[in-house]
Chains A and B, each alone.
Chain A
Amino acid sequence: MEPFIKIKSIATPLNKVNVDTDQIIPKQFLKLVQKTGFGKYLFYDWRYEKDGTIKKDFVLNEPRYKDSKILLARDNFGCGSSREHAAWALLDFGFRAVLSTSFADIFYNNCFKNGILPIKLSEQVLQKLFESRSDIEIDLEKQTITNDDAIIFFDIESHWKRILLEGLDDIAVTLQYDNAISKYENTQRSSSLRVS
């Protein structure tokens, strides 16, 4: 996983509440058996007309956001299906951070697992970012979001901060607890109430 240290770019404002993962990546694109190549299908039904031409009025299609690494979103972003393809599509498209007031639980988790930083902000702070046109810099080590107007501090769980900063393999980290897992299993095995 590519480490996340510092990024700077214009932020793409997606001004819509309750964006579900069916919108982020529609089901017809879930049939791929690899993790790459989903970017071209991101927000497919919002980005393209039926005949495959680009919908000019959809924000992701505006030329100024072409190289954006940061997505501004609204309440309950990523709700619905657990499909991690949503995170893969955002990453493949170029997004490394999503800023919102709230995220659905599974999507939130899926972001970290793929090196995307989801940041929860207050309504007021987020609104200011929606209204600003300047580039945004996100510094994970310092936990700051900086633009022309302000420096904003954000919270992140220490575990996820480390995973992202170092680009760690989550499973390798857990396997360091192998003894504890075996101990749990042995206790189960010797129990008359064993279910696992």
Chain B
Amino acid sequence: MAKTLFEKIWDSHVVEEGNGRSLLYIDRHLVHEVTSPQAFDGLRMNKRNIRRTDLTFATMDHNVPTSDRSLPILDQTSEVQIKTLERNCKEFGVKLFDINSPDQGIVHVIGPELGITLPGTTIVCGDSHTSTHGAFGAFAFGIGTSDVEHVLATQCIWMEKPRTFEIRVEGKRKNIHAITAKDIILSIIRKIGTAGGTGTTFEYRGETISELSMEQRMTICNMSIEGGARAGLIAPDEKTFDYLRGRRYVPKNYEKLVEYWRENLKTDSNARFDKSFTLHVDTIAPQVSWGTNPAMTVDVTGKVPFPEEYAKGNTEEEKAATKALQYMGLKSGTLITDIEIDRVFIGSCTNSRLEDLTEAARAVKGKKVSSKVRAMIVPGSQHVKKQAEELGLDGIFKDAGFEWRESGCSMCLGMNPDILSAGERCASTSNRNFEGRQGSGGRTHLVSPVMAAVAAIQGHFVDVRDLDLN
């Protein structure tokens, strides 16, 4: 029977079936400090061990300060969580990339970077943005802490098979520096809604997807969860295999695996998807979110919408939009380019990789951050930071007045000291504009790295298509 890529990966990992659910084997388990302490405690209480420490990798990213790492951590509760992970990894024998490791970084940045992420595998982590790893043709999804414990103890997880959802992305972007992967995924979420993918796995395909780099594909897969899907994946190709070749944790039989993946890890031509959606990129504009969920997004050339216009007859959505505008301190009809900002955050598992920083630096070079704006760059990992510094990107940013910081999740969720104050408005390359996400009362506008960089300089949103970015 013809199968989709997802169905092939699923079928090859089923250990047992029953009651409409499958017990799936998990090939890679990524662990971080925030969603794991209670899982390790559960193991201890029940005198259980980790079944496969060789498939389990940990780092600390959510809580870590992004300031000078030689200084002590001031937030004591953060320090407790960081120390707890250290202790747990030592006790249970888990490989840990700790705060001082040259491999430390956001779990979804370091997985691919170290070759832990592989095509055709199943990958879980106690973090909803685990979907990022789908860019490599893996079935990767976020889980809660009870399931973290379950996977540690059994290396398996029970799941109902998600339905399949094809997301076709077709056409040619007119300006590849201005219309980015972030604008593509925001455009998709805006159309299908934040629950559009609930109960499904996305497969992104089409000519535009093939043309994207691995890092851009990661940006797209990363935000699958924002469209309600637990996972999103892209069939691996030569770009995927080249990206991973030679990385530290790829298996010794890598070339043999590549041969197999090349032939098998794709959706059969006559396979059927349960749902399908197509986005044409020829005409899309840079995207800016105006509300408090990622579907509340418009073109940079647009205006803050009226709630009834956004809701299209749905009274609950209309109420939500009214509340969102109130929270965001925005008036319907305001031009997006007239919105002034106080802060800029370039970072997060969505947009903190070398290419993101390179694209932002291109727009920043020789310019100065607006005197009204505080802007920070938080590289996704220590490796990204080092590579960027080798290219001199840190100098470009620092000369312009950006803060150049250590790697971590930082202001994407503000668990460390990097937060917005109430009422502050931020152009952010992260993935969620929920109320209070970046700090209680903080106002988040989701944008691409280049849009954020230019907003930092101009002090308000700008249509980056109007600039010379080459």
Contact = CB atoms under 8 A, between A and B. Distances in A.
Chain B associates with chain A: yes
A43 B147 CA distance: 24
A192 B194 CA distance: 41
Interface residues of B, number: 79
A174 B150 contact: yes
A9 interface: no
Interface of B: 15-16, 18-21, 23, 25, 27-28, 34-35, 37-38, 41-42, 46, 48, 51-52, 55, 62-63, 75, 77-78, 80-81, 84, 118, 120-121, 126-128, 142-147, 149-150, 153-156, 158, 160, 162, 194-195, 198-199, 225, 228, 230, 251, 253, 256-257, 260, 293, 316-317, 319-320, 323, 413-415, 422, 432, 434-437, 440-441
B19 A17 contact: no
Nearest to A175: B154
A110 interface: yes
9 contacts: A26-B440, A34-B37, A76-B228, A82-B144, A174-B154, A181-B51, A195-B121, A195-B251, A196-B25
Interface in A155-196: 157-159, 169-172, 174-175, 177, 180-181, 184-185, 188, 192-196
A18 B128 contact: no
Contacts of B21: 157, 159
B144 A106 contact: yes
A45 B436 contact: yes
Interface residues of A, number: 55
B153 A180 contact: no
B195 A35 contact: no
A87 interface: yes
3 smallest beta-carbon distances between A and B, as pairs = A113-B146, A84-B144, A33-B37
B125 to A, nearest CB: 9
Contact of A33 (B15, B23, B80, B435): B80
A109 B38 contact: no
Contacts of A174: 23, 150, 153-154, 156, 158
A181 B26 CA distance: 11
A169 to B, nearest CB: 7
A187 to B, nearest CB: 10
B15 A109 contact: no
Q: Which of A16, A32, A79, A158 is most buried by chain B, counting CB atoms within 10 A of its CB?
A: A79
A80 B52 CA distance: 29
Interface string A98-124: 000010111001100110000000000
Contacts of B320: 16-18
A195 B228 contact: no
Contacts of B28: 196
